[in-house]
Amino acid sequence: MNILLKSAKIVIPENKELHLKKRDILIKNGFIEKVASSINATSKTQIVNLKNLHVSLGWFDSSVSFGEPGFEERETISNGLAVASKSGFTDILLNPNTNPVPDTSSDIVFLKERSSGESTNLYPIGTLTQKSEGKDLAELFDMHNAGAVAFYDFKKQLTNPNLLKIALLYAQNFEGLVMSYPQDKHLKGRGIVHEGPISTKLGLKGIPAMAEELQVARDLFILEYTGGKLHVPTISTSGSVKLIADAKKKGLDVSCSVAIHNLMVTDESLQEFDTNFKVMPPLRGKSDCKALIKGLLNGTIDFVTSDHIPIDIEDKRVEFDNAMEGSIGLESAFGSLVPIFGMEQTISFLTAGRERFGLEKPGLKTGEKACLTLFDPEKDWEFSEDDIISTSKNSMFLGANLKGKVYGVVNNDQLTI
């Protein structure tokens, strides 16, 4: 397949030669053939000439959930990857949030085969323990060999500290990355929202920031003892930022991410009892948002994630206490980040993180595989249900004014717009 991107403004902050320059980009059979000021197309070339077209390296998301296998009513792998590509993401990590969970090498092989041939690449995360029950380690080495990029009991606390110690020691044999969810379930108790004035006012059971920070502190203490590689997904408090900053100063091999909604949406949004705002970790206060943004900008937080979690209508349109946690976020990710961080910083965030999971970062040189995202960073628009192609519609950004619209991607010798 031959594709010619016409008059595309290239956004690659690390490449001073091409950054913010308008160029034509010719792609042949999935590889970059030429980048020049003007390129003439042959008759067999598909020309892409879109309004205010901007191009960056393909975007990466480290925390995406679908449903298949087991919860296909929430999202299938095929449609989920179509959502990701339409949202600008060429590479996503799939959380072990299925039924059954992927805790063997054959499960990892199934997910990779089920996602082959799509324009967005899917990389499975295997569970850390068998059936995500927190009792015995899963087949980490076999899953690693089958293609698992990390190991994680999705949104579940690893209550046994010795199990984390053993996992960190064992995974060093093959450079495996261990993930640990930052929440102490005993301190969380029956809490469903951030503990503070809003939870008291609304009469909702609160989750103290300490529930997250105590778990982060414990895990970092174990990491200092064992060595190895630890990733802390979706932190949400100012205290967690400080703990991880201190750990990095010590030289510990730790990384962390933050969900996009935790950067900009506070617990004040809960006052209408809209279950789309019920997420884990919970929406926190303004001071936490400020600390998370500062941590992201100074490099303490390594990358952002949509933390995309489709939930079917039967589990969302119920009483707030009974609703499942989660919000979809792929379709709104770019448009919600640009108003806060601007285009260039947003692109830096969305293209970061691959190396941590052992994935190769794409480039924009002749002969390299074309892995590109196409977008218009200046379009103002209101996010509505018509903009959602996810099977589930549980987005906390419905009705929000966003800036920046995604056209699609060029990846795996496919154009998706």
286 lies in the same domain as 371: no
Q: Are 188 and 155 in contact (CB under 8 A)?
A: no
Supply the pLDDT for residue 287: 98
pTM: 0.97
285 lies in the same domain as 373: no
Is 43's pLDDT higher than 90? no
Q: Are 66 and 73 in contact (CB under 8 A)?
A: no
26 lies in the same domain as 150: no
Binned at pLDDT 50, 70 and 90, residue 345 comes out as: very high
Per DSSP, the three-state class of 201 is helix
210 lies in the same domain as 262: yes
Q: Are 126 and 153 in contact (CB under 8 A)?
A: no
Is 325's pLDDT higher than 90? yes
266 lies in the same domain as 369: no
152 lies in the same domain as 180: yes
384 lies in the same domain as 296: no
275 lies in the same domain as 133: yes
160 lies in the same domain as 95: yes
Nearest Cα residue to 354 out of 224, 280, 257: 257
Q: Are 152 and 127 in contact (CB under 8 A)?
A: yes
**The domain spanning residue 45 has which CATH number?**
2.30.40.10
Instruction: Give 30-39's long-range contacts (Cβ < 8 A, gap of 24+).
Output: 30/1, 30/369, 30/370, 30/412, 30/413, 31/367, 31/368, 31/369, 31/370, 32/364, 32/365, 32/366, 32/367, 32/368, 32/369, 32/370, 33/366, 34/366, 35/10, 35/364, 35/365, 35/366, 39/4
Is 295's pLDDT higher than 90? yes
Q: Which two tokens stand for residue 385?
A: 């249900």
The residues carrying an active-site annotation are 307
Q: Which residues contact 258 (CB under 8 A, 6 or more apart)?
A: 234, 235, 236, 292, 295, 296, 301, 304, 305
Question: Dihedral of CA 173/176/182/187: which sign?
Answer: negative
Q: Are 149 and 171 in contact (CB under 8 A)?
A: no
Condensed to tens digits (0 to 9), the pLDDT of residues 113-168 reads: 999 999 999 999 999 999 999 999 999 999 999 999 999 999 999 999 999 999 99
Strands 372-382, 121-124: pairing kind: unpaired
Measured CA to CA, the distance from residue 372 to residue 415 in angstroms comes to 10
Q: What is the DSSP string of 163-177?
A: HHHHHHHHHGGGT-E
63 is in which domain, residue-wise?
57-357
379 lies in the same domain as 272: no
Is 80's pLDDT higher than 90? yes
Count of the separate structural domains present in the chain: 2
283 lies in the same domain as 373: no
393 lies in the same domain as 283: no
Q: Around Cβ 338, how many Cβ atoms within 10 Å? A: 22
**The domain spanning residue 344 has which CATH number?**
3.20.20.140
Q: Are 30 and 370 in contact (CB under 8 A)?
A: yes
Is 41's pLDDT higher than 90? no
Condensed to tens digits (0 to 9), the pLDDT of residues 87-110 reads: 999 999 999 999 999 999 999 999
